Amino acid sequence: MLNRSNDDLPVFYTRHNDMIMGSGKPIIASLEINDFSYLHYHDCLEIGYCVSGKGICLVEDKQYAFKKGDVEIIFPFQKHLSRNSEKESSIWYWLTFHPHSLMKKGGFLAETKLEQAIYNEMGLCGIFSPEQYPEIVALVEQFFGELLEKDHASLYHSELCALYVYQLFICLARVSEPLPKLKVRQNVKLQTISPALDIISHAVQKANTPSVETLASSCNMSVSNFRKVFFEVTGLSPKRYIMKCFINKAQQLLLTTDKSISEICIEAGFGDISWFNRKFLSETDMTPSAFRSKYSKRLAI
């Protein structure tokens, strides 16, 4: 683990559904190879299992190396990103969920105690290797195995999942006992603008641009106060934050689809191709076509 400053990286709120209350299964996804960097955060727990590949995971101001068989644990509102090594992509199982949802679904009444442990007693996060933390990795493997291999209707399925998670975080709390504790409590100011962040996330998906007035109203704030709090939380004005979200969407489309630049321009929320090119160039120091040419060659999965 290495310390590093992530102050120069843009940060985005990412809306994640509670997978336990939804499909109930982790998603399997390929982590792309690229050099552009942005941190993101969400209001739920994230647990990952690396199936193949290697790279680094940044959490707040710390950097962790990961490889096949490692586990990732990210707490709510922690700024983070994962990147592959330069020559190798990686495959992951990821699950995002709220612990109280899982505990209630499993019939447990101890969700409050579990959340207290998560918010007050954790001293570790990021990447956990089986060599250093065999018990933690084994519990995640059992948890994911139950989710992936068993039907929701299987006898005691929900109870077992809740038990694995409860064991996992009690184990983490025990390992964390002699360590300085993480600051994983929710940022109060961030909570106040979370309705606006949700609106932005939905709008970007639909290539729409919400007005600042709409965003401020969703948070029950005046426009001037909203702008002030939004900048304090994100380091960006609402307008600049939304633009960066659209640029990020365009980057993903450039790397993961065969769509033309014109099609991506429309889908990413830019109505005019020349404006899209200018904005993309100002944010990334290259044109969309140059970006695709440089990075798509390194996305072999």
HSE-CB at 196 with a 13 A cutoff on CA atoms is 32
Considering only the top CATH level, what class is 2-176? Answer: mainly beta
User: For the chain, how big is the Rg over CA atoms in Å?
Assistant: 20
Q: What is the pLDDT of residue 296?
A: 63
Q: What is the pLDDT of residue 178?
A: 92
Q: What is the pLDDT of residue 12?
A: 57
| Bridge partners (DSSP) listed for residue 58 | 63, 81
Buried b (16+ CB within 10 A) or exposed e, 10-34: bbbbebbebbbeeebbbeeebbbbb
Q: What is the pLDDT of residue 298?
A: 47
Q: What is the pLDDT of residue 24?
A: 55
Buried b (16+ CB within 10 A) or exposed e, 239-269: eebbbbbbbbbbbebbbeeeeebeebbeebb
Residue type, 121: E
Q: Where are the domains of the chain?
A: 2-176, 188-296
Over the chain (301 residues), the average pLDDT of each successive run of 10 is 48 55 57 58 86 89 92 89 77 83 64 74 94 95 84 72 87 93 73 86 87 95 94 86 87 84 91 91 88 65 36
Residue type, 299: L
Q: What is the pLDDT of residue 28?
A: 61
- Topology of domain 188-296, per CATH? Arc Repressor Mutant, subunit A (1.10.10)
CA 174 – CA 25 distance, rounded (Å): 27
Evaluate whether 2-176 and 188-296 have a shared fold.
no
CA 258 – CA 204 distance, rounded (Å): 20
